[in-house]
Amino acid sequence: MGITSYDGSEFYSHRGLGHVAQVFSQKELDALPGMMASGHVRYSTTGGSGLRNVQPLFADLASGGFAIAHNGNISNAMALKRDLVAKGSIFQSTSDTETIIHLVATSRYPTLLDRFIDALRMVEGAYSLICMTPEGMIACRDPLGIRPLVMGRLGDAIVFASETVALDVIGAEFTRAVEPGELVQVDHKGTISSHRPFGTPSPRPCIFEHVYFSRPDSVMDGRSVYGVRKQIGVELAKEAPAPADLVIPVPDSGVPAAIGYAQESGIPFELGIIRSHYVGRTFIQPGEQARHNDVKRKHNANRALVEGKKIILIDDSIVRGTTSLKIVEMMRDAGAAEVHMRIASPPTEHSCFYGVDTPERSKLLAANMDIEAMAAFIKADSLAFVSIDGLYRAVGEAKRNSKCPQFCDACFSGDYPTKLTDFTERQPPKLNAA
Protein backbone atom coordinates (compact mmCIF):
# COMPACT_ATOMS: atom_id res chain seq x y z
CA MET A 1 0.00 0.00 0.00
CA GLY A 2 1.16 3.58 -0.49
CA ILE A 3 0.46 7.25 0.09
CA THR A 4 1.64 10.22 -1.98
CA SER A 5 1.29 13.82 -0.81
CA TYR A 6 1.96 17.26 -2.33
CA ASP A 7 2.80 20.44 -0.42
CA GLY A 8 2.64 23.02 -3.20
CA SER A 9 6.16 22.45 -4.46
CA GLU A 10 7.18 18.80 -3.86
CA PHE A 11 5.58 15.38 -4.04
CA TYR A 12 6.36 12.94 -1.20
CA SER A 13 5.68 9.24 -1.24
CA HIS A 14 5.88 6.19 0.97
CA ARG A 15 5.02 2.76 -0.37
CA GLY A 16 5.51 -0.68 1.11
CA LEU A 17 4.38 -4.29 0.97
CA GLY A 18 1.93 -5.61 3.52
CA HIS A 19 -1.12 -4.48 5.41
CA VAL A 20 -1.70 -0.77 6.09
CA ALA A 21 -0.63 -0.98 9.73
CA GLN A 22 2.60 -2.80 8.76
CA VAL A 23 3.56 -0.16 6.21
CA PHE A 24 2.47 3.02 8.03
CA SER A 25 3.22 4.22 11.52
CA GLN A 26 3.07 7.85 12.68
CA LYS A 27 6.70 8.27 11.56
CA GLU A 28 5.90 7.50 7.91
CA LEU A 29 2.78 9.66 8.02
CA ASP A 30 4.75 12.59 9.46
CA ALA A 31 7.07 12.38 6.46
CA LEU A 32 4.13 13.05 4.09
CA PRO A 33 3.43 16.79 4.42
CA GLY A 34 1.11 18.86 2.27
CA MET A 35 -2.41 19.96 1.49
CA MET A 36 -3.26 17.07 -0.81
CA ALA A 37 -2.69 13.33 -0.62
CA SER A 38 -3.89 10.06 -2.09
CA GLY A 39 -3.54 6.54 -0.78
CA HIS A 40 -4.02 3.12 -2.34
CA VAL A 41 -4.33 -0.42 -1.05
CA ARG A 42 -3.42 -2.87 -3.76
CA TYR A 43 -5.53 -5.93 -4.46
CA SER A 44 -3.40 -7.28 -7.24
CA THR A 45 -5.08 -8.72 -10.31
CA THR A 46 -2.96 -7.63 -13.26
CA GLY A 47 0.80 -7.39 -12.78
CA GLY A 48 2.68 -8.89 -9.85
CA SER A 49 2.53 -7.84 -6.23
CA GLY A 50 6.13 -6.49 -5.96
CA LEU A 51 7.02 -3.06 -4.58
CA ARG A 52 7.35 -1.50 -8.03
CA ASN A 53 3.64 -2.13 -8.62
CA VAL A 54 2.55 -0.53 -5.35
CA GLN A 55 0.44 2.59 -5.98
CA PRO A 56 0.11 5.54 -6.23
CA LEU A 57 2.47 5.34 -9.21
CA PHE A 58 4.41 8.55 -9.80
CA ALA A 59 6.12 10.13 -12.80
CA ASP A 60 7.70 13.48 -13.62
CA LEU A 61 6.01 14.59 -16.82
CA ALA A 62 6.70 17.68 -18.93
CA SER A 63 3.83 19.33 -17.04
CA GLY A 64 5.27 18.40 -13.62
CA GLY A 65 4.63 15.56 -11.16
CA PHE A 66 1.82 13.10 -11.84
CA ALA A 67 0.63 10.55 -9.26
CA ILE A 68 -2.05 8.00 -10.09
CA ALA A 69 -4.03 5.48 -8.02
CA HIS A 70 -6.30 3.01 -9.83
CA ASN A 71 -9.15 0.73 -8.79
CA GLY A 72 -10.08 -1.66 -11.58
CA ASN A 73 -8.33 -3.35 -14.45
CA ILE A 74 -7.46 -2.19 -17.95
CA SER A 75 -8.31 -4.90 -20.43
CA ASN A 76 -6.06 -3.69 -23.27
CA ALA A 77 -3.03 -2.74 -21.15
CA MET A 78 -0.75 -5.34 -22.74
CA ALA A 79 -1.67 -4.26 -26.26
CA LEU A 80 -1.14 -0.58 -25.36
CA LYS A 81 2.16 -1.39 -23.65
CA ARG A 82 3.45 -3.23 -26.73
CA ASP A 83 2.78 -0.13 -28.86
CA LEU A 84 4.23 2.28 -26.31
CA VAL A 85 7.40 0.22 -25.80
CA ALA A 86 7.84 -0.01 -29.57
CA LYS A 87 7.76 3.79 -29.68
CA GLY A 88 10.34 4.12 -26.90
CA SER A 89 8.41 4.24 -23.59
CA ILE A 90 10.34 2.66 -20.74
CA PHE A 91 8.07 0.92 -18.21
CA GLN A 92 9.11 0.64 -14.58
CA SER A 93 6.33 -1.65 -13.35
CA THR A 94 4.23 -4.50 -14.65
CA SER A 95 1.04 -2.80 -13.51
CA ASP A 96 -1.68 -2.09 -16.10
CA THR A 97 -2.04 1.38 -14.55
CA GLU A 98 1.35 2.53 -15.80
CA THR A 99 0.07 2.51 -19.39
CA ILE A 100 -2.08 5.55 -18.50
CA ILE A 101 1.01 7.49 -17.40
CA HIS A 102 2.78 6.78 -20.70
CA LEU A 103 -0.32 7.63 -22.73
CA VAL A 104 -0.57 10.97 -20.90
CA ALA A 105 3.18 11.59 -21.35
CA THR A 106 3.08 10.97 -25.09
CA SER A 107 -0.22 12.71 -25.89
CA ARG A 108 0.10 15.84 -27.99
CA TYR A 109 -2.78 17.83 -26.54
CA PRO A 110 -1.82 21.16 -24.96
CA THR A 111 -3.32 20.89 -21.44
CA LEU A 112 -2.81 18.11 -18.93
CA LEU A 113 -6.57 17.57 -18.66
CA ASP A 114 -6.84 17.10 -22.43
CA ARG A 115 -3.84 14.77 -22.45
CA PHE A 116 -5.44 12.75 -19.66
CA ILE A 117 -8.77 12.52 -21.54
CA ASP A 118 -6.89 11.60 -24.72
CA ALA A 119 -5.15 8.80 -22.78
CA LEU A 120 -8.40 7.48 -21.34
CA ARG A 121 -9.98 7.32 -24.79
CA MET A 122 -7.43 4.65 -25.68
CA VAL A 123 -7.99 2.61 -22.55
CA GLU A 124 -10.64 -0.10 -22.29
CA GLY A 125 -11.86 -1.87 -19.16
CA ALA A 126 -12.60 -0.67 -15.66
CA TYR A 127 -11.02 2.27 -13.93
CA SER A 128 -11.78 4.54 -11.05
CA LEU A 129 -8.77 6.84 -10.81
CA ILE A 130 -7.39 9.47 -8.48
CA CYS A 131 -4.63 11.58 -10.02
CA MET A 132 -2.59 14.35 -8.44
CA THR A 133 -0.84 17.07 -10.41
CA PRO A 134 0.68 20.38 -9.28
CA GLU A 135 -2.70 21.98 -10.16
CA GLY A 136 -4.80 19.72 -7.97
CA MET A 137 -6.66 16.44 -8.06
CA ILE A 138 -8.59 14.66 -10.80
CA ALA A 139 -10.99 11.84 -9.92
CA CYS A 140 -12.67 9.88 -12.66
CA ARG A 141 -14.69 6.79 -13.42
CA ASP A 142 -14.69 4.79 -16.64
CA PRO A 143 -17.61 5.41 -19.02
CA LEU A 144 -19.55 2.40 -17.71
CA GLY A 145 -18.78 3.13 -14.04
CA ILE A 146 -17.76 -0.48 -13.49
CA ARG A 147 -15.87 0.24 -10.27
CA PRO A 148 -17.37 2.66 -7.72
CA LEU A 149 -16.06 6.08 -6.65
CA VAL A 150 -17.65 8.55 -4.27
CA MET A 151 -17.03 12.10 -3.21
CA GLY A 152 -17.36 13.69 0.22
CA ARG A 153 -16.38 16.67 2.29
CA LEU A 154 -14.39 16.98 5.50
CA GLY A 155 -14.45 20.62 6.61
CA ASP A 156 -13.07 22.53 3.60
CA ALA A 157 -11.43 19.45 2.12
CA ILE A 158 -12.83 17.39 -0.75
CA VAL A 159 -12.41 13.65 -0.25
CA PHE A 160 -12.70 10.85 -2.82
CA ALA A 161 -12.97 7.16 -1.92
CA SER A 162 -14.10 3.88 -3.45
CA GLU A 163 -16.80 3.38 -0.85
CA THR A 164 -18.86 5.54 1.50
CA VAL A 165 -17.53 3.58 4.49
CA ALA A 166 -14.13 5.25 4.00
CA LEU A 167 -15.84 8.64 4.40
CA ASP A 168 -17.64 7.44 7.54
CA VAL A 169 -14.49 6.32 9.31
CA ILE A 170 -12.75 9.70 8.90
CA GLY A 171 -15.89 11.66 9.76
CA ALA A 172 -16.38 13.05 6.24
CA GLU A 173 -19.82 13.74 4.83
CA PHE A 174 -20.96 11.95 1.67
CA THR A 175 -21.67 14.42 -1.14
CA ARG A 176 -22.40 12.25 -4.18
CA ALA A 177 -21.04 9.49 -6.39
CA VAL A 178 -18.62 10.40 -9.16
CA GLU A 179 -20.83 9.50 -12.14
CA PRO A 180 -19.83 6.90 -14.73
CA GLY A 181 -17.71 8.64 -17.37
CA GLU A 182 -17.28 11.75 -15.23
CA LEU A 183 -14.00 13.52 -14.48
CA VAL A 184 -14.06 15.72 -11.41
CA GLN A 185 -11.26 18.25 -11.10
CA VAL A 186 -10.48 19.98 -7.80
CA ASP A 187 -7.93 22.79 -7.66
CA HIS A 188 -6.03 23.96 -4.58
CA LYS A 189 -8.69 26.56 -3.78
CA GLY A 190 -11.27 23.77 -3.58
CA THR A 191 -13.00 24.77 -6.84
CA ILE A 192 -14.70 21.75 -8.36
CA SER A 193 -15.29 21.31 -12.09
CA SER A 194 -16.99 18.37 -13.74
CA HIS A 195 -16.26 17.07 -17.25
CA ARG A 196 -17.99 14.38 -19.31
CA PRO A 197 -15.70 13.63 -22.22
CA PHE A 198 -17.33 10.28 -23.02
CA GLY A 199 -20.94 11.44 -23.43
CA THR A 200 -23.48 9.57 -21.35
CA PRO A 201 -23.36 5.85 -22.11
CA SER A 202 -25.58 3.48 -20.12
CA PRO A 203 -23.77 2.65 -16.88
CA ARG A 204 -22.84 -0.93 -15.99
CA PRO A 205 -21.61 -0.86 -12.37
CA CYS A 206 -20.29 -4.17 -11.03
CA ILE A 207 -23.06 -6.21 -9.40
CA PHE A 208 -20.49 -8.28 -7.48
CA GLU A 209 -19.77 -5.19 -5.35
CA HIS A 210 -23.26 -5.76 -3.91
CA VAL A 211 -22.77 -9.51 -3.53
CA TYR A 212 -19.37 -9.59 -1.85
CA PHE A 213 -16.81 -6.95 -2.70
CA SER A 214 -18.04 -3.83 -0.91
CA ARG A 215 -18.29 -3.49 2.83
CA PRO A 216 -21.84 -4.10 4.07
CA ASP A 217 -21.90 -0.72 5.83
CA SER A 218 -21.35 1.11 2.53
CA VAL A 219 -24.09 2.70 0.46
CA MET A 220 -23.74 2.25 -3.29
CA ASP A 221 -25.85 4.20 -5.77
CA GLY A 222 -28.29 4.94 -2.97
CA ARG A 223 -28.61 1.30 -1.94
CA SER A 224 -27.37 -0.06 1.38
CA VAL A 225 -25.03 -2.95 0.60
CA TYR A 226 -26.19 -4.73 3.76
CA GLY A 227 -29.85 -4.23 2.78
CA VAL A 228 -29.24 -5.65 -0.71
CA ARG A 229 -27.44 -8.69 0.71
CA LYS A 230 -30.31 -9.38 3.10
CA GLN A 231 -32.75 -9.05 0.22
CA ILE A 232 -30.72 -11.55 -1.85
CA GLY A 233 -31.30 -13.96 1.06
CA VAL A 234 -35.04 -13.25 0.87
CA GLU A 235 -35.07 -13.98 -2.88
CA LEU A 236 -33.03 -17.13 -2.31
CA ALA A 237 -35.47 -18.39 0.32
CA LYS A 238 -38.36 -17.85 -2.10
CA GLU A 239 -36.58 -19.53 -5.01
CA ALA A 240 -34.81 -22.36 -3.22
CA PRO A 241 -36.49 -23.43 0.01
CA ALA A 242 -35.21 -26.47 1.92
CA PRO A 243 -36.67 -28.39 4.84
CA ALA A 244 -34.30 -27.70 7.72
CA ASP A 245 -33.98 -26.83 11.42
CA LEU A 246 -31.44 -24.01 11.16
CA VAL A 247 -30.10 -21.37 8.77
CA ILE A 248 -26.34 -21.00 9.25
CA PRO A 249 -24.15 -18.36 7.57
CA VAL A 250 -20.61 -18.98 6.40
CA PRO A 251 -19.00 -16.10 8.31
CA ASP A 252 -18.63 -13.29 7.52
CA SER A 253 -19.56 -13.16 3.85
CA GLY A 254 -22.79 -15.17 4.18
CA VAL A 255 -24.22 -13.38 7.23
CA PRO A 256 -26.55 -10.71 5.75
CA ALA A 257 -28.03 -13.12 3.15
CA ALA A 258 -28.55 -15.76 5.87
CA ILE A 259 -30.47 -13.23 7.99
CA GLY A 260 -32.72 -12.50 4.99
CA TYR A 261 -33.14 -16.20 4.23
CA ALA A 262 -34.06 -16.97 7.84
CA GLN A 263 -36.55 -14.09 8.06
CA GLU A 264 -38.27 -15.11 4.83
CA SER A 265 -38.35 -18.86 5.56
CA GLY A 266 -39.13 -18.59 9.26
CA ILE A 267 -36.29 -21.04 10.00
CA PRO A 268 -34.12 -19.85 12.93
CA PHE A 269 -30.81 -18.11 12.16
CA GLU A 270 -27.96 -19.51 14.28
CA LEU A 271 -24.18 -19.26 14.33
CA GLY A 272 -23.14 -22.82 13.55
CA ILE A 273 -19.67 -21.78 12.43
CA ILE A 274 -17.45 -19.54 14.51
CA ARG A 275 -14.81 -17.52 12.73
CA SER A 276 -11.39 -16.65 14.07
CA HIS A 277 -10.67 -13.00 13.42
CA TYR A 278 -6.94 -13.60 13.61
CA VAL A 279 -6.73 -15.43 10.25
CA GLY A 280 -6.92 -13.22 7.15
CA ARG A 281 -8.76 -13.70 3.89
CA THR A 282 -8.25 -17.27 2.69
CA PHE A 283 -9.14 -16.43 -0.89
CA ILE A 284 -6.02 -14.37 -1.48
CA GLN A 285 -3.62 -17.01 -0.20
CA PRO A 286 -1.53 -18.19 -3.12
CA GLY A 287 -1.64 -21.95 -3.58
CA GLU A 288 -4.41 -24.49 -3.06
CA GLN A 289 -2.88 -26.16 0.03
CA ALA A 290 -2.43 -22.86 1.90
CA ARG A 291 -6.07 -22.00 1.17
CA HIS A 292 -7.25 -25.43 2.42
CA ASN A 293 -5.32 -25.10 5.68
CA ASP A 294 -6.47 -21.55 6.26
CA VAL A 295 -10.15 -22.34 5.76
CA LYS A 296 -9.73 -24.92 8.55
CA ARG A 297 -7.98 -22.52 10.90
CA LYS A 298 -10.37 -19.68 10.13
CA HIS A 299 -13.66 -21.50 10.72
CA ASN A 300 -14.71 -23.91 13.44
CA ALA A 301 -17.99 -25.80 13.85
CA ASN A 302 -20.27 -25.01 16.76
CA ARG A 303 -20.84 -28.73 17.42
CA ALA A 304 -23.27 -28.29 20.31
CA LEU A 305 -25.61 -26.45 17.95
CA VAL A 306 -25.42 -28.43 14.70
CA GLU A 307 -25.25 -32.01 15.98
CA GLY A 308 -28.24 -33.98 14.68
CA LYS A 309 -29.71 -30.95 12.87
CA LYS A 310 -30.75 -30.44 9.27
CA ILE A 311 -29.04 -27.23 8.26
CA ILE A 312 -29.12 -24.68 5.46
CA LEU A 313 -25.68 -23.18 4.90
CA ILE A 314 -25.54 -19.76 3.23
CA ASP A 315 -22.50 -18.24 1.52
CA ASP A 316 -22.21 -15.37 -0.94
CA SER A 317 -20.45 -17.21 -3.77
CA ILE A 318 -18.67 -20.34 -4.89
CA VAL A 319 -15.53 -19.66 -6.89
CA ARG A 320 -13.18 -22.64 -6.83
CA GLY A 321 -15.32 -24.56 -4.35
CA THR A 322 -12.53 -24.86 -1.75
CA THR A 323 -14.44 -23.03 0.99
CA SER A 324 -17.76 -24.81 0.44
CA LEU A 325 -16.20 -28.27 0.39
CA LYS A 326 -14.36 -27.65 3.68
CA ILE A 327 -17.36 -26.07 5.39
CA VAL A 328 -19.77 -28.85 4.38
CA GLU A 329 -17.26 -31.46 5.60
CA MET A 330 -16.88 -29.51 8.83
CA MET A 331 -20.65 -29.52 9.40
CA ARG A 332 -20.88 -33.25 8.73
CA ASP A 333 -17.95 -33.96 11.07
CA ALA A 334 -19.83 -31.95 13.71
CA GLY A 335 -22.81 -34.28 13.31
CA ALA A 336 -25.16 -32.33 11.01
CA ALA A 337 -27.90 -34.66 9.75
CA GLU A 338 -28.38 -32.86 6.40
CA VAL A 339 -26.50 -30.00 4.75
CA HIS A 340 -28.28 -27.85 2.17
CA MET A 341 -26.02 -25.25 0.57
CA ARG A 342 -27.61 -22.03 -0.70
CA ILE A 343 -25.56 -19.37 -2.52
CA ALA A 344 -26.42 -15.68 -2.60
CA SER A 345 -25.26 -15.16 -6.20
CA PRO A 346 -25.69 -17.02 -9.48
CA PRO A 347 -22.96 -19.54 -10.42
CA THR A 348 -19.62 -17.80 -11.12
CA GLU A 349 -18.99 -19.23 -14.57
CA HIS A 350 -16.69 -16.59 -16.03
CA SER A 351 -13.52 -14.78 -14.99
CA CYS A 352 -13.58 -11.10 -14.14
CA PHE A 353 -11.28 -8.87 -16.21
CA TYR A 354 -12.33 -5.68 -14.44
CA GLY A 355 -10.51 -5.82 -11.13
CA VAL A 356 -12.12 -8.61 -9.10
CA ASP A 357 -9.60 -11.38 -8.57
CA THR A 358 -11.05 -14.54 -10.07
CA PRO A 359 -9.00 -17.48 -11.21
CA GLU A 360 -8.93 -18.52 -14.86
CA ARG A 361 -12.07 -20.23 -16.11
CA SER A 362 -10.66 -23.74 -15.88
CA LYS A 363 -10.50 -23.30 -12.07
CA LEU A 364 -14.05 -22.01 -11.65
CA LEU A 365 -16.21 -24.82 -10.32
CA ALA A 366 -19.35 -23.58 -12.08
CA ALA A 367 -17.55 -23.33 -15.43
CA ASN A 368 -16.81 -27.02 -15.31
CA MET A 369 -19.80 -28.65 -13.62
CA ASP A 370 -23.57 -28.41 -13.58
CA ILE A 371 -25.30 -27.75 -10.28
CA GLU A 372 -25.85 -31.43 -9.51
CA ALA A 373 -22.17 -32.23 -10.06
CA MET A 374 -21.18 -29.22 -7.94
CA ALA A 375 -23.43 -30.45 -5.11
CA ALA A 376 -21.70 -33.84 -5.30
CA PHE A 377 -18.28 -32.17 -5.37
CA ILE A 378 -18.91 -30.12 -2.23
CA LYS A 379 -20.72 -33.14 -0.69
CA ALA A 380 -23.93 -31.24 0.05
CA ASP A 381 -27.37 -32.89 0.18
CA SER A 382 -28.60 -30.12 -2.08
CA LEU A 383 -27.21 -26.98 -3.67
CA ALA A 384 -28.97 -23.95 -5.16
CA PHE A 385 -27.96 -20.48 -6.34
CA VAL A 386 -30.11 -17.36 -6.51
CA SER A 387 -31.21 -16.69 -10.11
CA ILE A 388 -29.84 -13.71 -12.01
CA ASP A 389 -33.30 -12.09 -11.94
CA GLY A 390 -33.53 -12.78 -8.20
CA LEU A 391 -30.24 -10.94 -7.77
CA TYR A 392 -31.49 -8.02 -9.89
CA ARG A 393 -34.70 -7.88 -7.83
CA ALA A 394 -32.59 -7.68 -4.67
CA VAL A 395 -30.75 -4.62 -6.01
CA GLY A 396 -34.10 -2.97 -6.76
CA GLU A 397 -34.66 -3.76 -10.45
CA ALA A 398 -37.76 -5.57 -11.74
CA LYS A 399 -35.52 -7.97 -13.67
CA ARG A 400 -32.33 -8.08 -15.69
CA ASN A 401 -32.74 -6.20 -18.95
CA SER A 402 -31.12 -8.73 -21.27
CA LYS A 403 -30.76 -6.24 -24.17
CA CYS A 404 -29.05 -3.63 -22.01
CA PRO A 405 -28.24 -5.03 -18.55
CA GLN A 406 -28.28 -2.46 -15.76
CA PHE A 407 -25.09 -3.89 -14.21
CA CYS A 408 -21.89 -5.60 -15.24
CA ASP A 409 -22.65 -9.22 -14.35
CA ALA A 410 -20.08 -10.79 -16.67
CA CYS A 411 -18.84 -13.21 -13.97
CA PHE A 412 -22.32 -14.78 -13.99
CA SER A 413 -23.52 -14.17 -17.55
CA GLY A 414 -20.36 -14.02 -19.66
CA ASP A 415 -21.75 -10.76 -21.07
CA TYR A 416 -18.66 -8.53 -20.95
CA PRO A 417 -19.58 -4.86 -21.48
CA THR A 418 -16.24 -3.80 -23.03
CA LYS A 419 -13.78 -5.21 -25.50
CA LEU A 420 -11.21 -7.50 -23.87
CA THR A 421 -8.29 -7.03 -26.23
CA ASP A 422 -5.68 -8.67 -23.96
CA PHE A 423 -7.77 -11.66 -23.05
CA THR A 424 -9.76 -12.57 -26.14
CA GLU A 425 -7.19 -15.06 -27.33
CA ARG A 426 -6.94 -16.72 -23.91
CA GLN A 427 -10.63 -17.01 -23.18
CA PRO A 428 -13.08 -16.09 -25.93
CA PRO A 429 -15.89 -14.26 -24.11
CA LYS A 430 -19.53 -14.12 -25.19
CA LEU A 431 -19.41 -10.41 -26.10
CA ASN A 432 -22.69 -8.68 -25.37
CA ALA A 433 -24.66 -11.90 -25.60
CA ALA A 434 -28.37 -11.29 -24.96
Query: Which residue numbers belong to the known binding site?
Result: 206, 253, 315-316, 352, 408, 411
Kindly tell me which residue out of 13, 218, 322, 413 binds ligand AMP, with binding defined by CB under 6 A: 322
Per CB under 6 A, 283 contacts ligand AMP: yes
Nearest to 330 by CA among 250, 237, 247: 250
Distance (Å, whole) CA 416 – CA 235 = 25
> Which residues, 234 to 263, sit near ligand AMP by CB under 6 A?
250, 253
74: β partners: 125
**Residue nearer to ligand AMP on the CB measure, 66 or 212:** 212
185-224 footprint of ligand AMP as x/- string (CB under 6 A): ---------------------------x------------
What DSSP string runs through 338-365? EEEEEESS----S---SSS----GGG-H
For residue 393, give the 3-state DSSP assignment: helix
What's the min distance (Å) between Cβ of 283 and ligand AMP?
Answer: 3
CA separation for the pair 232, 225 (Å, rounded): 11
Q: How many CB atoms lie within 10 A of CB 362?
A: 9
- Contact call for residue 409 and ligand AMP (CB under 6 A): no
Is position 319 an interface residue for ligand AMP (rule: CB under 6 A)? yes
Identify residues 353-372 at the interface with ligand AMP (CB under 6 A): 356-358
The count of residues interacting with ligand AMP (CB under 6 A) is 18
Find out whether 159 and 153 touch, Cβ atoms under 8 Å: yes
User: Coil, strand or helix: which one is 214?
Assistant: coil
Could you tell me the smallest distance in angstroms from the CB atom of residue 257 to ligand AMP?
11
> DSSP letters along 227-275, please?
HHHHHHHHHHHHHS----SEEEE-TTTTHHHHHHHHHHH-PPB---EEE
Single residue of 215, 320, 332, 361 touching ligand AMP by CB under 6 A: 320
Q: Which residue among 162, 317, 351, 413 contacts ligand AMP (CB under 6 A)?
A: 317
Q: 67 or 273, CB closer to ligand AMP?
A: 273
Q: Which residue ranges make up the site for ligand AMP (CB under 6 A)?
A: 212, 250, 253, 281, 283, 315-324, 356-358
